Chain A
Amino acid sequence: MDNYLTLLSFGDQGWGDEIAIGVVTTISLALATLPVGLLIGFLVALAKQSREWSFRTAADIYTTIFRGLPELLTLFLVYFGLQIGIQQLFQTLGVEAGVEINAFLAGVIALAFVFSAYASEVFLSAFRAISNGQYEGGYALGLHRNQVMRLVILPQLIRIALPGLSNLWMILLKDTALVSAIGLTDILRQTGIAARNTKEAFLFFGLAALLYLVLALLSSVVIGRVEAAGKRGETVR
């Protein structure tokens, strides 16, 4: 028992500090991905309900690709693809430079692709839940198209989309574990290193699973608060 406590302690003897770094990386990766993914997802949802056939088709291709590819493969495609692509670009430009893509950036891009593909579907169904009268009322008041979107539609849209989006946040949190495969020091990577060095694999991978569970639990508390805040305007029936 003392042995385990030493292993988990912070400092030279234990792995606590290394794993804490992993927790920070995982959380910051998920938090960095969220706004990017939400923005792209919203834009794709707008494109999906456009009157233009070309917009709709382009958006459908986007979701088909990023919902159909395994997340791990998307990650590798982005990580190695960007590296090779930039190297090729440098070669054609005649620049001699070794390129190393930041794993964190590659993780954010890949996870944002996946997140936004799913988020666009959530936004789309939320858009469909808002009646046309809301737009018409907005136009009748003389609001501009952008104003209608910002002042009338978005506040309702967010409330309707929130349950779906919080689901996607939980999935995102779990998907961040994949970045350990490209060497980013997240929870799983750090616990994996600890497991290899101490031969206590069950302890450390169990700890990793526990940490993800705690993160999920914390998020559901926060999401519950946000949902309550979103509902405070609704009348009690």
Chain B
Amino acid sequence: MTALQERLEASERPPALPRTWTGERIAGNLVLAFWLVAGVLMVWYLVEAWAPEKVERYGPKYISGLLTTLSLVGLSLVIGAALSIPVAIGRMSKNKLISRIAFAYVYVFRGTPLIAQLFLIYYGLGSFRPQLEAVGLWGFFREAWNCAVFSFALNTAAYQAEILRGAVESVPKGQWEGAAALGLNRVQTLYKIILPQALIVALRPYGNEIILMIKGSAIVALATVYDLMGETRRAYSRTYDFQTYIWAAIFYLVIVETLRNVWSVVEARLTRHLQR
């Protein structure tokens, strides 16, 4: 299309209709106004309820809770990632027995609530105290923190194994065949051909899994670990001040939103060769 044609068409276009107040527009403005009022009320409430002595007392606890949450999630994600590799390999194995065992593992950990898994490990393993003492593991499972990391790692390993499997299987079979034709062995093919393509597919689900873990980690507060949620509950039980929960909500929202945005920047950067 030439510039002339473009200008011609622009000049012939009828003027845009004036924006009228349709029912949809009124309703939309009302809903948005509701959020605006809710936001202003929340800020006003927080300003009103601001108490320096409480901030001085509970502020550092919130920060330490936040660090606990982040280190708990980070540690479990890393351990879970390591555990997920054999599980994913097992899931893809041609050996029926191995693939069934891996499937059962994934099914059990994805089919039951994380909180039930945590309770089963933290409270349940207490039933086996003599046996655990005999093998010298009781010291490990006595600590709520260790149990939390243990159960979270097992849980996220199941989810990450499925992400990994889905990503590897999303790479077309021709890639394997092409690599084989070039004389690469299986390990080389996996590292040089398959994984670079698969991990790009896995980027988004991995990001979601991190966010799910951060949100899911709040339940450790019910097993006596003082993470962000645990500190919040403790502060609430001492002050009966509802703003403790509002502050926790703000903390969590900020972490999750930051992570989501950082992740999408990273994703855009890593997939820049795929964008047109």
List residues of chain A with CB under 8 Å of any chain B CB: 47, 50-55, 57-58, 61, 64-65, 67-73, 76-77, 80-81, 84, 170, 174-178, 180-181, 188, 192, 195, 199-203, 205-206, 208-209, 212-213, 216-217
- Asked if B28 contacts A195 (CB within 8 A), the reply is no
- Asked if A202 contacts B128 (CB within 8 A), the reply is yes
Report B244 CB to chain A, min CB distance, Å: 10
Q: Number of B interface residues, CB 8 Å?
A: 48
- Asked if A188 contacts B229 (CB within 8 A), the reply is no
Dominant SS among interface residues on chain B: helix
- Asked if A192 contacts B119 (CB within 8 A), the reply is yes
Of residues B34, B111, B217, B219, which shows the largest number of chain A Cβ atoms within 10 Å of its Cβ? B111
Distance of A200 Cα from B120 Cα, bound (Å)? 11
A-B contact count (CB 8 A): 135
- Asked if A69 contacts B28 (CB within 8 A), the reply is no
Give the residue name and chain of the A residue nearest to B241 (CB): A84
- Asked if A209 contacts B120 (CB within 8 A), the reply is yes
Q: Per-position contact with A for B231-246: 1 when CB-CB < 8 Å, else 0?
A: 0110010000010011
- Asked if B229 contacts A72 (CB within 8 A), the reply is yes
Within 8 Å by CB of B24, from A50, A58, A81, A216, lies A50
Q: A58-B28, A73-B218, A206-B124 are in contact. Are A80 and B35 (CB under 8 A)?
A: no
List residues of chain B with CB under 8 Å of any chain A CB: 24-25, 27-29, 31-32, 34-35, 107-108, 111-117, 119-120, 123-128, 214-219, 221-222, 229, 232-233, 236, 242, 245-246, 248-249, 252-253, 256-257, 260
Q: A68-B253, A209-B112 are in contact. Are A188 and B124 (CB under 8 A)?
A: no
Residues of A within 8 A of B125 (CB): 202
Distance of A176 Cα from B214 Cα, bound (Å)? 18
- Asked if A71 contacts B29 (CB within 8 A), the reply is no
Give the residue name and chain of the B residue nearest to A51 (CB): B24
Give the residue name and chain of the A residue nearest to B115 (CB): A177
Within 8 Å by CB of B31, from A54, A68, A200, A201, lies A54
- Asked if B115 contacts A212 (CB within 8 A), the reply is no
Residues of B within 8 A of A180 (CB): 115
Residues of B within 8 A of A206 (CB): 120, 124
Report B168 CB to chain A, min CB distance, Å: 21
Known: A70-B252, A80-B245, A212-B113. 12 other contacts (CB 8 A): A55-B24, A68-B215, A73-B229, A81-B242, A170-B111, A188-B113, A188-B116, A199-B127, A205-B119, A208-B120, A213-B111, A213-B112
